[in-house]
Amino acid sequence: MMTYANLLAALLLGSAALAQADDGQAVARVNGAEIGEFRLERYFNDYLEAQGRSIGAIRNPNLYKRLRRAALDELIDKELLWQEARRRGLVADEAAVQQQFQATRAAFRDEQRFAERLAEDGFDEASYTEYLRREQVSQRMLAELSQPKPPSDEEVRRFFEENRARLERPEQVHARHILLKIEPGQDAAEVEQRILALRGEILAGADFAEEARKHSRDSSAASGGDLGFFARGSMQPPFEEAAFALQPGETSMPVRTVYGWHLIRLEGRQPAEPIEESQGLAIVRDYLAEQNRSRASEEALQRLRDASRIELARGQ
């Protein structure tokens, strides 16, 4: 997850080149305004970070190209909104701009680190403040252009009735497990005998969590094999079937999955919990309203794109 301080970079780089004198070769032109390669590369890095990705982890060239193009499209949309806001004469709310500036500065441990971070991205306090004005005005412009229609009571009711089961909390179980992997060349039956022996020790009084810490070859071993609560559909089918068949305190027979042999101990069970109608309707209303906002925003941006001259450099 991005911290407020990390998010600063993403915000800075989403703006037009307010401080950079040389932003590299143009990768796109929006009604004549250039988006430079350096700006795109910096924004792309933060675009990936916001999704929990990193450039180095992307091995597929086609995926890399698609994600980079998506980041460029976001920069183009930002430029379009700014140009339209300027054309309409929108001005920023200075009090809100200063409030956001102070909140961002407070996220850093001291003034020096804040200034250093600004400088790393080619900004000083004045140019960053100008960016905040620009970002605020652009967001207001998008809100004015979108104006989504709120969902009707009929739409909310219909969606709720069609999806009620999905809104309810399903039955969940809390389990621990011990995993013995079957290594290449190893006899599966031999591993099964080992885990059967472990089960015998546990039934004789050995602590399951302690045995998991000593023997399990899963990342949960350090926590005594604790998997927390999970619902149906989140585990391998044989594992899930065995876990849901147990009663609290029981230990399963060995269970085979693609990962190896497991022992499962059930710690607890939570029954399915139906959702209150009023709560469900409120959740659905918020969901449909967000869907409408997203759709209206995309349609507004598409209208701006259709009315603009957007040129992409070769290979973008």
Fold of the CATH domain 4-150+288-312: Triger factor/SurA peptide-binding fold (1.10.4030)
For 148, half-sphere exposure in the C-beta direction (CA atoms, 13 angstrom radius) is 17
Report pLDDT digits (tens) over 244-266.
999 999 999 999 999 999 999 99
Where residue 24 falls (left for φ over 0; alpha for ψ -120 to 50; beta otherwise) is left
Portions of the chain given CATH number 1.10.4030.10: 4-150+288-312
Q: What percent of the chain has a predicted confidence (pLDDT) above 90?
A: 70
Rounded mean pLDDT of the chain?
89
Domain 169-270 matching CATH 3.10.50.40: the answer reads yes
Please give the pLDDT value at position 22: 57
CA distance 255 to 271: 24
Question: Where does the chain hold its CATH 3.10.50.40 domain(s)?
Answer: 169-270
> Per-residue pLDDT averaged across 169-189, rounded?
92
CA dihedral 241, 242, 247, 251 (to 10 degrees): -170
The lowest-confidence range among 59-63, 117-121, 179-183, 223-227 is: 117-121
What integer pLDDT is reported at residue 104 of this predicted model? 87
pLDDT category at 101 given cuts 50, 70, 90 is very high
Helix (H), strand (E), coil (C) string for the chain: CCCHHHHHHHHHHCCCCCCCCCCCCEEEEECCEEEEHHHHHHHHHHHHHHCCCCHHHCCCHHHHHHHHHHHHHHHHHHHHHHHHHHHHCCCCCHHHHHHHHHHHHHCCCCHHHHHHHHHHCCCCHHHHHHHHHHHHHHHHHHHHHHCCCCCCHHHHHHHHHHHHHHHCECCEEEEEEEEECCCCCCCHHHHHHHHHHHHHHHHCCCCHHHHHHHHCCCHHHHHCCEEEEEECCCCCHHHHHHHHHCCCCCECCCEEECCEEEEEEEEEEECCECCCHHHHHHHHHHHHHHHHHHHHHHHHHHHHHHCCCEEECCCC
Binned at pLDDT 50, 70 and 90, residue 137 comes out as very high
Q: What pLDDT does 19 receive?
A: 41
Q: What is the pLDDT of residues 35-77, one digit of tens each?
A: 999 889 888 987 888 887 888 888 899 999 999 999 999 999 9
Please give the average per-residue pLDDT across 110-123, as a whole number. 84
Query: Quick one: average pLDDT of 82-99?
Result: 95
CA quadruple 153, 159, 163, 169: dihedral, nearest 10? -40
pTM of the predicted structure, to 2 decimals: 0.62
Q: Is 282 left (phi over 0), alpha (psi -120 to 50) or beta?
A: alpha
User: Would you say residue 191 has pLDDT above 70?
Assistant: yes
